[in-house]
Structure 1
């Protein structure tokens, strides 16, 4: 990923433009609708494969982001407004991600020439240094040990393959779809009694991640939103970010990254104590996630020490135009 002053200036100049776009955007007439779509859920099939994944609708609303009793970077409690989005019912699994890897690109040779050109232009990860699942299992298990850049590039590839725009959630979106229910109440605080029923943690995981969907879902029907593996977001970490909007309602906030670390991941994992798994806890990336990578330079795609971090997809209800999507990838991937 290119890192220079001009890129950062361009990115910051576009920040205000994309505050609204990241969540909403303009409905594109070119998006092909997924199969089995209704007003609350849909199943996205991936052409030329028997692979599909489920998305559920998260109605927009205003909520209290943060915590009055958590860590200092979870304060102050402040109002945030989120637009409606679709969210992955499960964390992204290896079956879906493996279609993205270079050895599988021949599956899409029958696509129209224009789409093939776009697919061929998207970079693929280099081979991992070791089995990225670390022998813990792949079929039905969430993707782990990948960088935020790899997750975002996968989202760009998936958007090209399906014709529907996919990305990572912002921090604000993630917390909203984790802790609120359709009634707007804090689900895990007021209704989600017994975290063990919803989340895999160090106490019940047998020291490894589990297949998706084996615990109870939250109020929106999202499985493993807490525990199992943490989930990458779009945001760069800033411990003071919440305080910048404490006196107003923040609408679709996104702290656009300007450097590789620290990025935010959320939700806790199989490797965390129950006391460290919370809808509001903010976890951060750093070089420590690559300490066992012997390569020089270290891989930009694979993190050898992130066996507890994966990701979940979101898709705006209002789809962006092709031009808006292109600008988003230029910012999110620093292209």
Structure 2
């Protein structure tokens, strides 16, 4: 059964005549010493979802179907606090910038100051930023666009699974032997119940660190049951006019190995906002979700300016 009304659409992006070389690169945040790494994810076709015979299989991981994905770049690491805090705190951004902020960046709407410690005592710096809503994650991408002139966004659910698999059809990108997990992931067995500095474990074959474990990662999709429809098997994306649930992937620092399977799906939950005193609830923060984070992607073919603004301008329903 589908959860709520939704529309299944195919993402069709415009073309950028000044296409960058399709290779790994580092994105500098202008007028600062901060940068982050992006890895090229080649176009290809894969089987999305899990077999009913896979250990830990969940009903929402089927039916399996063949999906084609266009090329894109994906962040080598989850977005860290040292990056996210520049977006969160304009005074901090002004303080470390070597030049004044542009008027677009200066006038950007930013998250309300959280009344709780949104690090949950786990630390900032090169640890993954946590607790942001999907809307907050998208607005961070808007800030990146205004700072760099490069369009970054959340991955679709299909893009995320394709990149995480890195060519594997097994439970994990390294095969089906969960005993190998400690080499690649921060999870219940080795986390001591806190996140870790990004990149502290080995990456998957496409150079993505912590794609399993550490923090769950936002996708841009609404959570709904899979539809085995060949007309929707190229760059699929699910959107909805409802707020919950949206899809997260990858498991987190307290997940068991079965929840780190590449096909495992999670939906956002309004319970994560139950401590928020605001009415309506904040669009920016989940006061009870220290396990939620994000990773950015950049499509190889840049959308038109109108498509970019439409992506950033979509306002979620009020959360009561």
TM superposition score category, shorter chain reference: 0.7 to 0.9
Structural mapping, 1:5-154, within 5 Å: 19-21=11-13, 25-27=14-16, 29=18, 39-69=22-52, 70-101=57-88, 102-106=90-94, 110=99, 116-154=102-140
1:264 aligned partner:
247
Q: What is the Cα deviation at residue 19 of structure 1?
A: 1.7
Distance 1:206 1:148 in 2: 27
Q: What is the Cα deviation at residue 109 of structure 1?
A: 8.9
* Candidates 199, 222, 238, aligned match of 1:213: 199
User: In the superposition, relative to structure 1, how do residues 158 and 291 fare at CA in structure 2: closer, same or farther (>3 Å)?
Assistant: same
1:4 aligned partner:
none
User: In the superposition, relative to structure 1, how do residues 186 and 85 fare at CA in structure 2: closer, same or farther (>3 Å)?
Assistant: farther
Distance 2:117 2:40 in 1: 34
Q: CA RMSD in A?
A: 2.5
User: In the superposition, relative to structure 1, how do residues 189 and 148 fare at CA in structure 2: closer, same or farther (>3 Å)?
Assistant: closer
Q: What is the Cα deviation at residue 87 of structure 1?
A: 0.3
Distance 2:266 2:234 in 1: 22
* TM-score (norm: length of structure 2): 0.87
| Structure 2 residue ranges without an equivalent (≥5) | 1-5
Distance 2:176 2:71 in 1: 22
Distance 1:46 1:315 in 2: 15
Q: Is the 8 A contact 1:257 1:263 kept in 2?
A: no
2:172 aligned partner:
188
Distance 1:333 1:317 in 2: 27
Alignment size in residue pairs: 305
Report the secondary structure of 2:251's partner residue: coil
Q: What is the Cα deviation at residue 209 of structure 1?
A: 0.8
2:3 aligned partner:
none
Distance 1:131 1:248 in 2: 46
Distance 1:169 1:144 in 2: 17
User: In the superposition, relative to structure 1, how do residues 84 and 129 fare at CA in structure 2: closer, same or farther (>3 Å)?
Assistant: same
Q: Is the 8 A contact 2:219 2:247 kept in 1?
A: yes
Distance 1:93 1:318 in 2: 26
| Structure 1 residue ranges without an equivalent (≥5) | 1-10
Distance 2:231 2:306 in 1: 31
* Candidates 283, 293, 301, aligned match of 1:318: 301
Distance 1:155 1:322 in 2: 14
Report the secondary structure of 1:43's partner residue: strand
Distance 2:60 2:129 in 1: 28
Q: Which string of whole-angstrom CA distances, capped at 9 and with x for unpartnered residues, describes residues 242-284 of structure 1?
A: 2242x56600000013121111100000121122211111101
Q: Is the 8 A contact 2:128 2:197 kept in 1?
A: yes
